[in-house]
């Protein structure tokens, strides 16, 4: 068995142990020596076993102990690149219930950025100003939220918010295949922020500003369909702001994760 220790320059708290060969019980001493070399500030270890042909249960036991140490330091020990046949065998002893498994070190590092560093991910979408494009856009945002671990309720509420905002952007803006709606999404483990911007239609500006003008008690008249939609968005979000100008209308929302 051989092991290569890979430092990550921009991730001082993470490290990759790249193993090759057979990780059987007589290699435990070598594995312990490898872990003894890591700095005390390391709390995220990626065990890359792409070139490993066998992993014994005793080695799994040792890795479990080191994972406990990483978790106590606020991090984790994960496995990357495991061969399908090895994974199938180890699943019989509950491997996936013990460790988080990633297809490669890059995926494991992305998880580190998301879960340990709490790093936000940014998504930019530009689509034609047509109502028929809104459903796939709202579904995309919902699926991204689910993929990032948000629950069904949060994902559904985000889908509802995006649907209403984008429909408004199409309805109150200029239309045409050469024009586009821009949606910017920033998501982290605690919240989602969305910005949706259209191109203003001068003929619709008056009605839009009237719609945005506060009514008595800050309520929207029930016979205003889009007004009801804005009231719904306000209810579902933690922050809502609308910037209306001659060039475009930009809607910003913040939705804090609930589950």
Give first-to-last CA distance, the chain, whole Å. Answer: 43
Residues 126 and 249 occupy one common structural domain: yes
CB 166 within 8 A of CB 181: yes
Which secondary structure element, helix H or strand E, spans residue 16, and what is its range?
strand 14-23
The whole-angstrom separation of Cα 160 and Cα 143 is 13
> What are all long-range contacts of 137-144, with beta carbons under 8 Å and residues at least 24 apart?
137/162, 137/166, 137/183, 138/162, 138/163, 138/166, 141/183, 141/185, 141/194, 144/185, 144/187
Q: Are 76 and 98 in contact (CB under 8 A)?
A: no
For residue 8, what are the domain limits?
A: 2-115
> How far apart are the C-alpha atoms of 159 and 141, rounded to whole Å?
7
pLDDT of amino acid 77: 96
pTM: predicted TM-score of the whole model, two decimal places = 0.67
Structure tokens at 74: 């606020």
Among the three residues 73, 100, 115, which one is the final residue of a domain in this structure? 115
- Domain of 64, CATH number, reads 3.30.750.24
d(C-alpha 211, C-alpha 200), whole Å: 15
Spell out the residues 6+ positions from residue 65 whose beta carbon is closer than 8 angstroms to its own: none
Q: Which two tokens stand for residue 175?
A: 């239309």
The distance from CA 206 to its chain's CA centroid, rounded to whole angstroms, is: 38
Pair 109, 180 in one domain: no
Q: At what angle do helices 225-236 and 152-172 cross, to 10 degrees?
A: 140
Considering the domain architecture, whether residues 167 and 72 belong to the same structural domain is answered as no
Q: Is there a contact between 159 and 90 (Cβ–Cβ < 8 Å)?
A: no
In a shared domain, residues 130 and 214: yes
Question: Do 102 and 29 lie in a common domain?
Answer: yes
- Which CATH number do you get for residue 232? 3.30.565.10
Tell me if residue 134 falls in helix, strand or coil: helix
Residue after which a domain boundary falls, among 91, 115, 139: 115
87 plus 161 within the same structural domain: no
Q: Verify that 155 and 239 share a domain, yes or no.
A: yes
Sign of CA dihedral 236, 237, 242, 247: negative
**Backbone phi and psi for residue 174, each to the nearest 5 degrees, phi listed first:** -70, 145
Verify that 74 and 106 share a domain, yes or no. Answer: yes
98 and 170 housed in the same domain: no
- Which among 193, 194, 212, 204 has a CA at the least distance from the CA of 248? 204
Q: Are residues 17 and 142 in the same domain?
A: no
Closest CA to 83 of 101, 67, 59, 110: 101
Tell me the C-alpha distance between 99 and 111, whole Å: 14
Sign for the CA dihedral angle at 102, 105, 107, 113 comes to: positive
- Among 58, 93, 115, the domain boundary falls at 115
- Claim to verify: residue 79 and residue 134 sit in the same structural domain: no
CB 153 within 8 Å of CB 259: yes
Strands 76-80, 44-55: pairing kind? parallel
Written as tens digits, the pLDDT of the chain (259 aa) is: 899 999 988 888 999 999 999 999 999 999 999 999 888 899 999 999 999 999 998 999 999 999 999 999 999 999 999 988 888 888 887 888 889 999 999 999 988 888 888 888 899 999 999 999 999 999 999 999 998 889 999 999 999 999 999 998 888 888 766 779 999 999 999 999 999 999 877 666 666 666 666 555 455 443 455 456 778 888 999 999 988 876 788 999 999 999 7
Query: Are residue 129 and residue 242 in the same domain, yes or no?
Result: yes
Counting the structural domains of the chain, the total is 2
């Amino acid at each position: 068995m051989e092991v290569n220790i890979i430092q990550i320059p921009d991730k001082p708290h993470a490290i990759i142990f790249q193993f090759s060969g057979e990780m059987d019980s007589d290699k435990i001493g070598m594995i312990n020596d490898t872990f003894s070399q890591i700095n005390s500030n390391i709390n995220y270890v990626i065990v890359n076993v792409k070139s490993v042909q066998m992993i014994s249960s005793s080695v799994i036991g040792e890795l479990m102990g080191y994972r406990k140490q990483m978790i106590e330091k606020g991090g984790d020990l994960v496995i990357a690149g495991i061969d399908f046949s090895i994974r199938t065998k180890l699943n019989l002893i509950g491997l996936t219930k013990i460790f988080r498994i990633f297809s490669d070190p890059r995926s494991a590092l992305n998880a580190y950025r998301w879960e340990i560093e709490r790093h936000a991910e940014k998504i930019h979408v530009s689509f034609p100003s047509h109502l028929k494009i809104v459903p796939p856009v709202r579904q995309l945002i919902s699926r991204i939220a689910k993929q990032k671990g948000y629950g069904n309720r949060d994902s559904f509420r985000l889908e509802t918010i995006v649907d209403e905002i984008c429909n408004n952007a199409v309805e109150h803006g200029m239309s045409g295949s050469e024009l586009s709606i821009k949606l910017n999404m920033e998501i982290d483990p605690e919240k989602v922020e969305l910005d949706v911007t259209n191109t203003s239609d001068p003929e619709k500006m008056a009605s839009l500003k009237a719609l945005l003008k506060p009514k008595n008690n800050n309520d929207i008249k029930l016979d205003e369909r889009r007004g009801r939609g804005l009231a719904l968005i306000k209810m579902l979000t933690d922050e809502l702001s609308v910037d209306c100008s001659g060039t475009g209308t930009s809607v910003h929302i913040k939705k804090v994760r609930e589950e």
